[in-house]
Amino acid sequence: MKILSLFFLLFAIGTAHAAQEPQGVFKRSCGMCHNGQLPMAPREGDSAAWKPRLEKGMNTLVKHVTEGFNAMPARGMCMDCSADDYTHVIEWMSRQN
């Protein structure tokens, strides 16, 4: 039984620190603006709009999300997102639909 409880403990720790699912983050936060509603915000799935952004490099983009960038608010409305979460959601948003 000890092995089993250890398994559950590890599972609990694992899920608590798990990266957030990009589409979920998008739906809760980024999607308010990056869904085509706000013309200045590059739209999800519009890889052409994302191309010049991606050329700045992922580190710069994550920095801009964290600190804010022009009309985009700091942290992009996702207060509990880590830098990795931002990277994953940016990769998801900039995919080709």
Alpha-carbon distances, residue 69 vs 76, 93, 96 (angstroms): 9, 17, 24
Instruction: Pick the binder of ligand HEC from 10, 73, 84, 91 (CB under 6 A).
Output: 73
| Alpha-carbon torsion, ordered 32, 94, 53, 69, to 10 deg | 20
Under 8 Å between Cβ of 42 and 50? yes
Q: Which stretch binds ligand HEC (CB under 6 A): 3-11, 13-21, 65-73?
A: 65-73
Under 8 Å between Cβ of 22 and 89? yes
Q: Cα–Cα distance between 90 and 81 in angstroms, integer?
A: 12
Q: Cα–Cα distance between 97 and 94 in angstroms, integer?
A: 9
Instruction: Pick the binder of ligand HEC from 27, 51, 56, 95 (CB under 6 A).
Output: 56
Residue 70 or residue 97: which is nearer to ligand HEC going by CB?
70
Q: Site mask, ligand HEC, residues 78-97, x = CB under 6 A?
A: x--x----x--xx-------
Residue 45 or residue 53: which is nearer to ligand HEC going by CB?
53
Q: Using CB under 6 A as the criterion, which residues of the chain lie in contact with ligand HEC when the complex forms?
A: 25, 29-30, 32-34, 38, 40-41, 53, 56, 61, 64-65, 69-73, 76-78, 81, 86, 89-90
